[in-house]
Amino acid sequence: MDVLNRMDHIVVVVHRVLNFLVHENDHCFDFHSGTQPIKECRPGLVCNKKTNKCELLKCFDQLKKLNKNDTNSILIPNCKPDGTFAPRQCNKTSCYCVSFHGQLLTQFKSSSIDSKRYCHCAQLFNGNISWKTRCDKYGDYLLVQCKGKICYCVNLDGKILKNMEFFSRTKSVENEQYCLNLQKKKGIKTI
């Protein structure tokens, strides 16, 4: 009986929260502008500080415009669930790395549409992070990442491999071979 009461309470709380999340073009109040937050935009929307109305995030907005115009666009944006651009965008012939806001990251090479490139590193490399990630020329993570003098092995998503020894930055060729062997041993896909 106690569990049912808790579940009812959770349903009521979720319902109340959703009532405060408003739709596109509805009035909202921005949490960061200093006004009292009464209504917040639903996921995929952002509160415009000038109009105090919920607007689609840039990636979703581009998708909506394409759907409305029903065009055969060369580029159909690939959006993440939060409304930012996926790191890898493709047209009919090639793919390239973009920032969270959809800006082309020109320091990374484009790749063929059928290549197994992801651009995860490129998007973080371009973002505000406390240390710089090490990316290859296509925007993917290098096998060896370092913070200061300490280095470690990562997978394609940049996550540290489990049961891995940390090592010093001094022997880069040996470190890369160590990481490659570790990935093969664990059955982790490499590019």
- Most confident segment among 80-84, 86-90, 109-113, 178-182: 86-90
CB 78 within 8 A of CB 89: yes
When pLDDT is cut at 50, 70 and 90, the band that residue 97 belongs to is: very high
Predicted pLDDT of residue 14: 42
As given in the structure block, the two tokens for residue 133 are 């990630």
Mean pLDDT throughout 114-138? 79
- pTM as predicted: 0.63
Predicted pLDDT of residue 155: 87
Mean pLDDT throughout 30-57? 70
- Most confident segment among 4-8, 134-138, 170-174: 134-138
Decide if pLDDT at 52 tops 60.
yes
Across the chain, mean pLDDT equals: 75
Mean pLDDT throughout 12-25? 56
Rounded Cα–Cα distance for residues 32 and 45 (Å):
15
Give the model confidence (pLDDT) of 68-93 as tens digits: 665 555 567 888 888 888 999 988 88
Q: What is the DSSP letter of 161?
A: P
Between 144 and 43, the more confident residue is 144
- Give how far Cα 13 sits from Cα of 7, 23, 45, Å: 10, 19, 22
Predicted pLDDT of residue 127: 62
- Give how far Cα 101 sits from Cα of 69, 123, 141, 187, Å: 22, 10, 20, 34
Predicted pLDDT of residue 31: 53
As given in the structure block, the two tokens for residue 115 are 């290549």
Between 61 and 138, the more confident residue is 138
Decide if pLDDT at 139 tops 60.
yes
By the 10 Å C-beta count (0-12 exposed, 13-18 middle, 19+ buried), 58 is classed as: middle
Show me where the domains of the chain are located.
1-56, 141-191
Predicted pLDDT of residue 86: 92
